[in-house]
């Protein structure tokens, strides 16, 4: 506080002779964009320009192999979104939101709990940290293959475990009602390692003094967590929620590997539908329109989140 006051006084004071001009604040500069240029250039070439192209293509019945054969459709592809029945657009949107909601709530809660459990520990907890992180370090393409064996109806490991514990077994990926939960279980297994590490990083930066003060004040462990730890972890949580929400909306590989969007479209998310139309069916224009809609949905949720973040200046996304 005092430093800031002094600084503003210094800035207001006449220039000292040994410096060039007044104490220039290095933060204000016209060249700021140059610092972001390397990243922006990469994005421009490989994401933004192709995205613009996607917007353009979404207005056509596009023949990717021979663009001269393309036919202009205007908003025809978007109209088709609403007319589609197998699957309907709204069901795909719902599956995207279902998956994203489950991942955000489940993933954040589980990784925060794991981080609290595993913080400041000896070799044993250290080992568990590695164990929890390990799935994230392995390719989705390989591990989802392992999980299709685990989820195998009747003789997979998951059913075997439930059976041994005398719990009701599930059809897992084979039934429309349990397929999405199965994909969520796999995705949580794969993803929480990373968010746990992020939370561990956040926890490591917490102020010990505040916690001690809370304990001296006679706060219970829960009160201490709620009033001290959780409050300080807020920026980290915001980050975890935002990153989980966006990666979940875009998630694709596990849907492809585990369930192929089925059974009967039960795991067909918008992101999977984009793949299905653009790649498998070569309906490039329609797939592009879907991609644009998915883009809009992501932007919409980001805006809603920002609005509801009650002026949190650390809000990331």
Residue selected from 237, 295, 305, 309 as contacting other proteins according to rule CB under 8 A: 295
Of 60 and 102, nearer to other proteins (C-beta) is 60
User: Contact between 285 and other proteins (CB under 8 A)?
Assistant: no
3-state secondary structure of 72: strand
* DSSP letter, residue 263: S
List the interface residues with other proteins, window 79-118 (CB under 8 A). 85-87, 114, 117-118
Residue selected from 162, 219, 246, 309 as contacting other proteins according to rule CB under 8 A: 246
Q: How far apart are CA 99 and CA 149, in angstroms?
A: 22
Residue selected from 131, 167, 213, 304 as contacting other proteins according to rule CB under 8 A: 131
Q: How far apart are CA 305 and CA 294, in angstroms?
A: 17
Size of the site for other proteins (CB under 8 A): 139
Residue selected from 81, 104, 129, 183 as contacting other proteins according to rule CB under 8 A: 129
User: Contact between 294 and other proteins (CB under 8 A)?
Assistant: yes
Of 122 and 308, nearer to other proteins (C-beta) is 122
3-state secondary structure of 60: strand
Tokens at 129, concatenated: 């940290």
Tokens at 248, concatenated: 């979940």
User: Contact between 217 and other proteins (CB under 8 A)?
Assistant: no
The least distance separating other proteins from the CB of residue 237, rounded to whole angstroms, comes to 12
Beta strand 60-61 with 71-72: parallel, antiparallel or unpaired? antiparallel
Residue 73, preceding peptide bond in cis (omega within 30° of 0): no
Query: What mask, x for binding other proteins by CB under 8 A, covers residues 166 to 195?
Result: -----x-xxxx------------x---xx-
The least distance separating other proteins from the CB of residue 274, rounded to whole angstroms, comes to 5
Residue owning tokens 């004071």: 13
List the interface residues with other proteins, window 13-72 (CB under 8 A). 19, 23-33, 35-36, 38-40, 42-43, 45-51, 53-54, 61, 63-69, 71
3-state secondary structure of 71: strand
Of 102 and 224, nearer to other proteins (C-beta) is 224
List the interface residues with other proteins, window 252-281 (CB under 8 A). 252-253, 258-265, 268, 270-271, 274-276, 278-281
Residue selected from 104, 224, 243, 248 as contacting other proteins according to rule CB under 8 A: 243
Q: Closest Cα to residue 248, out of 198, 189, 187, 206?
A: 187
Q: Closest Cα to residue 179, out of 95, 110, 79, 93?
A: 95
Which positions ≥6 away from 154 have C-beta within 8 Å?
A: none
3-state secondary structure of 137: helix
């Amino acid at each position: 506080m005092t430093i800031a006051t002094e600084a503003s006084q210094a800035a207001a004071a006449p220039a000292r002779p040994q410096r060039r001009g007044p104490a220039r604040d290095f933060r204000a500069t016209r060249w700021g964009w140059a610092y972001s240029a390397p990243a922006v250039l990469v994005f421009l070439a490989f994401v933004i320009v192709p995205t613009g192209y996607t917007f353009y293509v979404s207005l056509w019945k596009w023949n990717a192999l021979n663009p001269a054969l393309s036919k202009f459709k205007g908003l025809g592809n978007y109209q088709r979104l609403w007319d589609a029945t197998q699957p309907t657009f709204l069901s795909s949107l719902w599956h995207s939101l279902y998956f994203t909601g489950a991942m955000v709530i489940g993933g954040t809660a589980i990784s925060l709990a794991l981080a609290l459990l595993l913080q400041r520990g000896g070799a044993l907890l250290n080992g568990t940290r590695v164990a929890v992180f390990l799935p994230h370090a392995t390719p989705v393409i390989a591990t989802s293959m392992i999980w299709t064996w685990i989820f195998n109806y009747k003789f997979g490991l998951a059913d075997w475990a439930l059976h041994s514990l005398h719990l009701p077994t599930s059809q897992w990926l084979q039934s429309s009602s349990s397929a999405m939960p199965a994909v969520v279980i796999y995705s949580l297994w794969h993803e929480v390692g990373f968010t746990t590490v992020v939370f561990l990083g956040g926890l490591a930066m917490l102020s010990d003094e505040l916690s001690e003060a809370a304990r001296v004040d006679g706060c219970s462990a829960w009160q201490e967590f709620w009033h001290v730890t959780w409050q300080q972890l807020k920026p980290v949580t915001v980050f975890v929620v935002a990153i989980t929400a966006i990666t979940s909306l875009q998630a694709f590989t596990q849907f492809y590997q585990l369930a192929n969007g089925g059974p009967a479209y039960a795991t067909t998310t918008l992101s999977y539908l984009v793949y299905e139309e653009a790649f498998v069916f070569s309906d490039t224009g329609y797939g592009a329109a879907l991609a644009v809609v998915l883009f809009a949905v992501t932007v919409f949720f980001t805006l809603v989140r920002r609005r509801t973040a009650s002026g949190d200046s650390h809000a990331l996304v």
